[in-house]
Structure 1
Amino acid sequence: MRAMTGDLVWREVPEPEPGPGEVLVEVAATAVNRADLLQVQGFYPPPPGAPAYLGLECSGRLADGSEVCALLAGGGYAERVAVPEGQLLPVPRGVSLIEAAALPEVACTVWSNVTMVGRLAAGETVLIHGGGSGIGTFAIQYAKALGARVVATARREKHEKLRELGADELLDYREDDFSGVQADLVLDIIGGAYLGKNVTALTTGGRLVIIGLQGGRRAELDLGALVSKRLTVAGTTLRSRPVAEKAAIVSAVREQVWPMLEDGRIRPVIDETFPVEEAAKAHERVAANAHLGKVVLTVSAA
C-alpha cells in the first residue's frame, strides 16, 4: 500500500490491519486540514495507536462496495485505512464521493462545538472566526440552518462568497474591529491574540469556544468581565477524543446534520482538488490562507 508520510513523500508502507470493531476503507479522496500542516511541522503528532500518516478524514468504499466517508485520527492520505465502525458515515444523497471527503472533520467539529458545547439556538448571534476556512464555510451554513444570525471574519475578497453561504455580516479581520458584535457564541480558531476582544464581543451569558491556536497559546483573561457577564469559556479538540466519544458525535452528526446536506441547506464547499501526490502544493495553498472552503486530495478514481 502507498501512503503520504510526514515528509510529504508518497511511498510504499505496510498494509493497515483492522482491529476489533474496525473496517477497511479503500480511499477515494481525503482533505487537507490545518492539523496536517502542524503534523508535518512536528507540532501535532497523532494520538497513540493512530496511523502515523497524515489525514483526518476520507471518503471511499467498503469491501461490499458501499460508499462511505469517515472521521479519522490519522491515515487518510493513503490507499487504504482501518476505521472504527462508529466513525463511518454514508455519503449523503446528492453529494459526490470526492465532495464527501471534505465533510467528516468539519461536520463533526462544527456540530460538537456549535451545538454540543456552544448550545447555539435559533435567534441568537454567532461570531465565526476564519469564515473562509473549511470549518468556517460549514459553520456559517450550519448556524444559518439553525436560525441564528451569523457574523464572520474573513479577508474582504472572500466576503461575497460567504454572503452567498448565509453570513449576515462580514468583517475583514485585517481592518475591522469585531469586539462590538455582541454575540451569544464565538467560535474561535485563533486563540490567544483574540481572547480579549472575544470576551468584549460576547453578550451576557455568552459562550466562547476555542478550537484553534493560530494566534498563540497564551493571553490575559479579564475575570471581572467573565464574572459580570456570566460567560463560559471552553476549549476543545476532536482528534484525541476516545473512540466512544467520537462515535457519539458521528451518530449525532448523521442524525442532525446529514439531513441538512441532503436537502441542500448545507453543501460542501470545495476550493481546489489535487492528486494526493501533489499534497505539498495543497498544503501551500492552505498555509497561505488562499483557499475558500476545503482543499481535497484524490487518491483513486471515484
Structure 2
Amino acid sequence: MLLLGLAACTSPGPAPVSDRGQARTAVKPVTPVTPPIAPSTNGLHTVQRGNTLYAIAFANGLDYREIALWNRLESPDRILVGQALRLTPPPGAVEIKPLDDEPAPSARPLDAPLDAPLAGPPVLREPQAVLLPYSEANWAKVSGAPVTVVAPAVVRPAPVAAMPPAPAASGLVDTWLWPAEGMLAGHFGAAGGKGIDIVGQRNAPVIAVAPGKVVYSGSGLRGYGQLLIVKHAGEFLSAYAHNETILVKEGDTVTAGQKIALMGDSGADRVKLHFEIRRYGKPLDPLIYLPERS
C-alpha cells in the first residue's frame, strides 16, 4: 500500500498550458484634448490645461493686465486649471490706456455761459495763492510797510562745459522688421482680418520683428494653427500664425531678426504667415509699423 501511494504521488500529470503566441494588447494612456480658446460669449473663461493669460486675452481682444486686475491675480504668469476668469470689468474698474493716447485737457471759453459743460478738466490760468518765504521785502509787499532793499552782490558762475542731454527713453519699439518674405495677400480689416497674410514657401524662415519675450507657443487658439506670440516694449504684442514648426518656447527672449518659426499651413488652406500687431490687446494695422518694401 505504501508503494502504491508513492507511485501515485510520482505519476506524471498534465503539464500547465501557456499560449505564448497570443499577443498582449497594450493599453495606451488617453491624453485629454484641450479645447481651443475661442472668444467668450458669456464674459467668462474657465482655464484649461495649456492656457496662458496672454492667449486668453489675445483670443478675446483684451489686455492681459486688465484680466489680471479684474480677477485680482498676483501674477499674469500664474493661473490655475479650472479657475473661472471674468473677461468684463467689475463695477468701478479703471480702464487701462496708454499715456500717449490720453486726450489733451481743455477748458470752457471765458465768454461761455457758466452752466456750459466742460470739455475736459478745468485749467487755472492764474495761481489762486502764492506762498512767499519770509523776508523784509516780502513783508513790505503784503503789509504795505516801507522797506529799504539792498541789491545783492552779483556772483558770476565759473564757466562749465555743456553736458549733452540724456536721450529720452520712449519705451516703444524703435524699429520693426518684416516677419517673412513672400507676397502680401490679406490686408488688415479686409473681411474682418486682424492682421496681414504673407504667402510664401513651406519651411521659409519666420523671424521676430523686434526684440521681446515669447509669451505663448502652441496651437490652443482657434483658427491660428501653430501660433507664436511675442511681447515687446510699450505693451506691443506680435503674433505669428499657421507655422509648420515652432523653434522657440514660452519664456524665451528673442532678438530682432531671430528665426523663431518655419512657415506652414497649420490651420490654414494654404502656406502662409498670418501676422498681427496688437497694443493693449487691440489689433493694429501692421503696415503702419512695418517698413516700406520695394
Do the structures match in fold with TM over 0.5? no
Relative to its length, the structure with more helix (as a share) is 1
Q: Give the alignment's TM-score, normalised by structure 2.
A: 0.21
Looking at both structures, which has the greater relative contact order when contacts are Cα pairs under 8 Å and sequence separation is at least 6? 1
Relative to its length, the structure with more strand (as a share) is 1
Q: Give the alignment's TM-score, normalised by structure 1.
A: 0.21
